[in-house]
A and B are shown apart, each in its own frame.
Chain A
């Protein structure tokens, strides 16, 4: 059976390659899917946990909050928690086991997971409340919410978009994982979301279009955000299944688990990527 290797983490950075490796290893070990969704956000999660998120660990009350609203990509989050050493290798290896806190979707009972997610269209509302709370408490902590593009199908997301803009929650940052795919098709075929950025702009958000696989660009963009301004959204262009050639852009890899051969090839591609 595959076991997690001890990561070699450089302080202040997080390796997207190591996140992808953990995503592949764990999804293979547990024989589950959602691999493409997790690979899609590996660089965003690396940027967040590699430097953007402030605070002294999951118990620090003044830590920045991160809500993975697209909870089905939880493996990327678990990988980051592992690389930060907030999740032990033993706990990570219980992914999808009976009696584990480490499930397909993240549970708040796991240290480092702020809120349980999995039902789409919920995380941004909670994030808006968390951002409002920080303002009422005079705290400079920020709230980051990572949503999927298909999640923007949910009307409840736009309720939160309106609320955050109305209250000028400049300490709230949404990140849209714009990979163009959803569970049963391409977003353009299912329910078109184009153009994404102007929609958020029309609702009063401060919009930044970024390459969702460019860790440095993501961090630099967040650095420039004005906490006293409107709420911010990073429309992050991503490739579904990024890093594994046979998964990229393929609907199948929303749900499908890997065969042994597919796993070996996927791991090789991720390890050999520059």
Chain B
């Protein structure tokens, strides 16, 4: 999604002089196409994320559309108060692009995991929060939201090859995308881990489970109507997110079930423990935290058995 971001941003910048790109010294071998094409509109501000967001706030107030770029945790946690007191309180069009949410920086270790970013953004009423599932959807999401009047947080993955089957790059603000039909249970996924959820749905179908699968990329504003419709059709929902179980997609679905008094049961797959050592690569970490294709299938089968029993 990184390459998709830069390609899309180049197109947007060609068409609109307000588009600027700021990075906190990250994006080597990714951001060069923009830096080369628009050297006067590209700023490597150094390893200083708070200042990056503050500078973007001043630029946005003067009429620019600054995109700020860093690894998800550095783009969200470190400058969080600057995001709140700046673009959110002033409702300015700063775009925060957080790369590699979840365990995508596996071997880099826990300091590089982005496991709370969506919760932080969901807690703020004044910021759009998007977590596209693949590079095609990321492109659609950027094109649909780049010139919104208020701030936007984008959680994007590093993978620019994998596509989620059945998604076809669809995106709409405040909507969810169903990628598979089924009636026994619904897998509801957010962000790049959606491809694992889609694969798990395939496995479950092969084992005779009628499994629906839904992608939620528009976290804020949430796809309430779509989720109410989905959760009304199935007896069981399993949320899948490379994120803490508190505050992210699982919490969003739980809120919708509770507030709409739906009978659907919910199981949340996500991070429940401090992601400390021993650690490893992305796939290892996802397996340890119950987010691999196999662990999602196992969770689904166990829960279905429990519900039936």
Contacts and interface: CB of A to CB of B under 8 A. Distances in A.
A118 B85 CA distance: 9
B159 interface: no
B90 A163 contact: no
* Interface of B (DSSP majority class): helix
Contacts of A131: 58
Given A129-B59, A134-B62, A136-B64, A156 B85 contact: no
A108 B286 CA distance: 44
A119 interface: yes
B59 A133 contact: yes
Contacts of A220: none
A132 interface: yes
Interface in A92-123: 108, 114-116, 118-119, 121-122
B119 interface: no
A137 interface: yes
B64 A125 contact: no
Contacts of B90: 108, 115-116
Interface stretch (B43-51, B166-174, B259-267): B43-51
B31 interface: no
Contacts of B82: 122, 125, 156
A48 B51 CA distance: 25
Interface string B61-97: 1111010000000000000011001100110000000
Contacts of A133: 58-59, 61-64
B99 to A, nearest CB: 21
Contacts of B239: none
Contact of A122 (B46, B60, B66, B85): B85
B51 A163 contact: yes
A161 to B, nearest CB: 9
Nearest to B89: A116
A159 B85 contact: no
Nearest to B62: A133
B50 A159 contact: yes
A190 interface: no
Given A116-B90, A159-B51, A126 B58 contact: yes
Contacts of B235: none
B54 interface: yes
B53 interface: yes
B61 A125 contact: no
Given A122-B82, A126-B86, A156-B82, A115 B51 contact: no
B61 to A, nearest CB: 6
Given A133-B64, A156-B51, A159-B50, A128 B58 contact: yes
A50 B53 CA distance: 32
A164 to B, nearest CB: 9
B56 interface: yes
Contacts of A166: 46
B57 interface: yes
A129 B48 contact: no
Nearest to A127: B58
27 contacts: A108-B89, A108-B90, A116-B90, A119-B81, A122-B85, A125-B51, A125-B53, A125-B54, A125-B57, A127-B58, A128-B51, A129-B55, A129-B59, A129-B60, A130-B59, A133-B58, A133-B59, A133-B61, A133-B64, A136-B59, A137-B62, A156-B82, A159-B48, A162-B48, A163-B45, A163-B51, A166-B46
Interface of A: 108, 114-116, 118-119, 121-122, 124-134, 136-137, 143, 156, 159-160, 162-163, 166
Interface of B: 40-41, 43, 45-46, 48, 50-51, 53-64, 66, 81-82, 85-86, 89-90
- In the A-B complex, list the 8 residue pairs whose CB atoms are closest, starting with the nearest: A125-B54, A129-B58, A133-B62, A159-B51, A129-B55, A130-B58, A159-B48, A156-B50
